[in-house]
Structures are given as structure tokens and as C-alpha cells.
């Protein structure tokens, strides 16, 4: 009889079972696998249950899609568009996946250890080795998907409820040039009044950031709890002459101030607390040979929110949920992300390797979007 692959050995199967159990328990007990949880989890919950295809389509029907706006030249006032391109988002547009393969050296090491271990003590050592390698591979695949969900959430929230597919944020996507609109009220988008009010170094001695924030507070129809912004805008606020005056008083008007000082002053004026958004997403380029780091939160955009909880990420049932599993593929769920693993080798015309993939079809449902407001501090209303 031909010798079976190490993948079918009791030792490998035991390690695989332990890895799946770790993921299952983490999901059931809401334990995060990562030292630093993904940012989207701070403000969004994952939906409690998977939606059927029809239920998910109904949700997507509330998100409108259209071709991205065209640039215009001096001879045309507005680009001419028909309404034919306006439609709803498809499940394909919100399916996010990340695949990671074990390198050949790791595969060979696992195969060798499975074949060679001679004692119970060695078995424990080898079992730990395999479990660690498999768990790390699955975590890397999951992390890729969670980073994408954070990217989507931060992009939508800091761009007035709109996400646009571009070659920079989704290389190779068939949807490049299309936008998804999550129902933002355009009357809630504001800018500073004039060029003299733009938050830049030239205006730091005169710009009144407190006045700009009060304009949003006055326009809001609900109490606002927080303002979300990038670190650059928070640091700018700390350096402006008028903010220092508000915090320190005239006798110490030029003294440095801290974020804690500034939040205390904002509270006196019933203004929302500052939350700095520190989010970076890495994109692979050139077949994974290079990485590019992107900050999805739009520079200069401040988002005012009534609550810490923005909504949910609703997700669709997978084929595996319906019992349609592929032979030779291992399945497990973590945080409603489906994690699969399978092998490829000579039969497929490649070197022997194992793939780990994480995938979810999901869309953010921003339940509080109707009560959110934005302020653009790098562009003025006169532009």
C-alpha cells in the first residue's frame, strides 16, 4: 500500500483538532486572538447570526452604488451621467478574503517531525510545533480579513458614509470606479468657513478651533458624545494660540497644553471628547514582495458621533453553513469569519504546500449614521 500523507497521520490530525478547538473557544467566549484587537471592534459588533441570502440582499439593497464622480475641466460645469449606473451593492462587492500559505520549509519540517518522532516526550514537542505553526498561519489569514474590515469602517466613517473602490485600496477589483453609499445625510457635512479658518500652520496664531467645533454642536439635533480624528488634527489643536488661551487663561496663554487639558476644557463647553484614530492598513504589492502602509482615516476629517456603538457588521451564510463543504478542505469559524485550509501539490502542478484562507461576506450597517456630523478642516466652504 502507498504511504499516506503526513496530513492524515494521527499526530497531525490531533494538532489540527487542537487548533480548531482554540479558534472555536475563542469565538464562543469572545476572546480576541490578537494582542491589539482590530479597531472596527471598538465601535461595531459582529451580527449575532448569519443572514440568509435573501436577508443579506435586503440589507445590501439599502446601500446604493454608482460610478465614481468624474473630474471636470474648465469647459464643462458638471459631468453628464445617466441614472443607469445607479444600483445596489452585490455580495461579491463585500466579500473579503485573505489567503496565506505555509512555506515549503515549514511543510517539510512538519512532515519530517511526524515521520521521525520516537517517544512520547518527542511527540509532545512535535505536537506543540505543529500546533504553533498552524495557529499562526490561521491567525495571519484572519488578521488580513479583520484589517480589511477596519479599513472599510474607517474609510466609510471619515468620508461621509461613502466607500470608493480604487486601484490603491483594492488592486485588481472588478469594481474599481464604483462607490458604496451608506446613507449619510449630506446636510451633516460641513467645512470651515474661509481660507483663514483652515487648520494649517499659517493660521495657527489666529484660527479658533473651539468656534469651529461649536458650530457643529449647534447644528446637531442630538447630543454628541465624541469626535474622532487623526493624530495630526489633535496635535494641531494643541498648538493653536486660542486653544491655549481657552485652556490656560491669559496669564499663561503661551504655555503648552495636553490632550487631557484640552478635553477638560471641551467638556466645560459641552463639546464632545476627542478620540484619536490610530489605524494603519498594510497592502501587499508586486506579488507580496513589497508592502504599502495606508491610513484609511481621511486627513482633515473630524467625525462627530452620538454614541460609542455605531452599528454592526452583518454577514451572509456561507456554503459550509449550508452543508456544502468541499472534500479535502478543513473548516472552522472565528468571529463569523470562515477559516479554511487545504493542500496543493504535484497533482495541481505546484510544490507541496498548505493554504490557510479566511473569508467573510459582510457589510457594515451604520445604525447611528443619521445622527453623525463631519467637519472638514483642510477645505473651506468658499472652495
Summarize pLDDT for 105-160 with one digit per residue, the tens.
Answer: 888 888 887 777 766 667 888 888 889 988 998 999 999 999 999 999 999 999 99
Give yes or no for residue 294 having a pLDDT over 60.
Answer: yes
pLDDT tens, residue by residue, 180-193: 999 999 999 999 99
Q: Does any domain span residue 116?
A: yes
User: Which pTM was predicted?
Assistant: 0.87
Give residue 258's pLDDT.
Answer: 95
Residue 302 lies in a domain: no
The pLDDT of residue 84 is above 50: no
Which of 91-95, 199-203, 326-330 shows the highest mean pLDDT? 199-203
Q: What is the pLDDT of residue 217?
A: 95
- The answer to whether residue 215 is domain-embedded is no
The answer to whether residue 58 is domain-embedded is yes
Instruction: Give the containing element (helix H, strand E) for 42.
Output: helix 40-43
For residues 152 and 129, what is the distance between their CA atoms, to the nearest angstrom?
A: 35
Any idea what the CATH number is for the domain that residue 43 is in? 3.15.30
Mean pLDDT over 45-51 rounds to 89
Instruction: Please give the DSSP secondary-structure letter assigned to residue 316.
Output: B
Instruction: Give the pLDDT of residue 370.
Output: 95
For residue range 167-178, what is the model confidence (pLDDT) as tens digits?
888 877 888 888
Q: Give residues with Cβ within 8 angstroms of 7, minimum separation 6.
A: 13, 343, 354
pLDDT at 344: 65
E strand spans, the chain? 44-46, 64-67, 87-88, 95-101, 162-164, 178-181, 189-192, 226-229, 273-276, 281-285, 290-294, 301-305, 311-315, 330-334, 337-344, 353-366, 373-380
Residue 168 lies in a domain: yes
Taking 80 as the threshold, does the pLDDT of residue 339 lie above it? yes
What's the confidence (pLDDT) of residue 223? 95
> What average pLDDT does the chain have?
85
Please count the structural domains in the chain. 1
Output phi, psi for 264, to 5 deg: -65, -40
Report the pLDDT averaged over residues 357-382: 94
> What pLDDT was estimated at residue 118?
62
Distances (CA, A) of 152 to 173, 234, 263, 361, 379: 15, 23, 28, 13, 23
Specify the higher pLDDT residue, 36 or 370: 370
Q: Is residue 129 part of a domain?
A: yes
Alpha-carbon span 262 to 269, nearest angstrom = 11
pLDDT at position 93, please?
85
Q: Within 13 Å and on the Cβ side, how many CA atoms surround 144?
A: 21
DSSP collapsed to 3 states, 50-112: CECHHHHHHHHCCCEEEECCCCCCCCCCCCCCCCCCCEECCHHHHEEEEEEECCHHHHHHHHH
pLDDT tens digits, 194-218:
999 999 999 999 999 999 999 999 9
- 44 within some domain: yes
33 part of a folded domain:
yes
Domain of 22? Answer: 6-68+83-180+315-360
Amino acid at each position: 500500500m502507498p504511504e499516506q500523507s503526513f496530513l492524515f497521520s494521527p499526530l497531525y490530525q490531533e494538532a489540527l483538532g487542537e487548533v480548531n478547538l482554540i479558534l472555536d473557544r475563542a469565538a464562543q467566549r469572545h476572546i480576541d486572538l490578537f494582542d491589539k484587537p482590530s479597531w472596527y471592534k471598538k465601535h461595531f459588533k459582529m451580527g449575532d447570526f448569519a443572514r440568509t441570502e435573501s436577508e443579506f440582499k435586503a440589507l445590501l439593497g439599502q446601500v446604493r452604488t454608482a460610478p465614481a464622480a468624474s473630474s471636470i475641466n474648465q469647459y464643462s460645469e458638471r459631468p453628464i451621467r445617466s441614472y443607469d449606473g445607479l444600483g445596489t451593492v452585490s455580495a461579491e462587492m463585500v466579500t473579503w478574503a485573505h489567503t496565506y500559505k505555509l512555506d515549503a520549509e515549514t511543510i517539510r519540517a512538519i512532515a519530517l517531525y511526524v515521520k521521525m518522532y520516537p517517544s512520547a516526550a518527542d511527540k509532545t514537542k512535535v505536537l506543540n510545533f505543529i500546533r504553533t505553526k498552524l495557529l499562526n498561519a490561521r491567525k495571519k489569514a484572519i488578521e488580513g480579513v479583520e484589517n480589511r474590515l477596519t479599513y472599510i469602517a474607517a474609510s466609510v466613517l471619515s468620508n461621509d458614509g461613502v466607500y470608493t473602490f480604487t486601484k490603491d485600496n483594492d488592486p485588481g477589483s472588478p469594481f474599481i470606479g464604483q462607490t458604496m453609499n451608506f446613507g449619510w445625510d449630506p446636510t451633516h457635512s460641513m467645512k470651515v468657513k474661509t481660507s483663514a479658518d483652515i487648520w494649517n500652520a499659517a493660521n495657527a496664531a489666529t484660527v479658533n478651533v473651539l468656534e469651529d467645533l461649536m458650530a457643529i454642536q449647534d447644528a446637531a439635533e442630538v447630543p454628541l458624545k465624541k469626535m474622532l480624528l487623526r493624530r495630526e488634527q489633535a496635535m494641531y489643536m494643541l498648538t493653536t494660540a486660542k486653544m491655549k488661551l481657552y485652556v490656560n487663561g491669559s496669564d499663561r496663554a503661551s504655555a503648552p497644553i495636553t490632550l487631557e487639558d484640552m478635553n477638560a476644557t471641551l467638556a466645560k463647553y459641552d463639546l464632545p471628547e476627542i478620540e484619536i484614530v490610530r489605524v494603519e492598513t498594510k497592502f501587499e504589492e508586486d506579488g507580496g514582495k513589497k508592502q504599502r502602509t495606508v491610513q484609511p482615516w481621511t486627513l482633515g476629517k473630524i467625525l462627530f458621533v452620538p454614541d460609542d456603538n455605531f452599528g454592526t457588521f452583518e454577514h451572509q451564510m456561507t456554503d459550509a453553513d449550508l452543508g456544502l463543504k468541499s472534500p479535502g478542505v478543513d473548516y472552522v469559524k472565528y468571529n463569523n469569519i470562515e477559516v479554511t485550509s487545504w493542500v496543493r501539490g504535484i497533482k495541481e502542478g505546484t510544490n507541496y504546500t498548505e493554504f490557510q484562507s479566511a473569508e467573510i461576506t459582510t457589510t457594515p450597517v451604520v445604525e447611528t449614521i443619521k445622527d453623525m456630523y463631519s467637519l472638514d478642516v483642510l477645505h473651506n466652504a468658499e472652495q
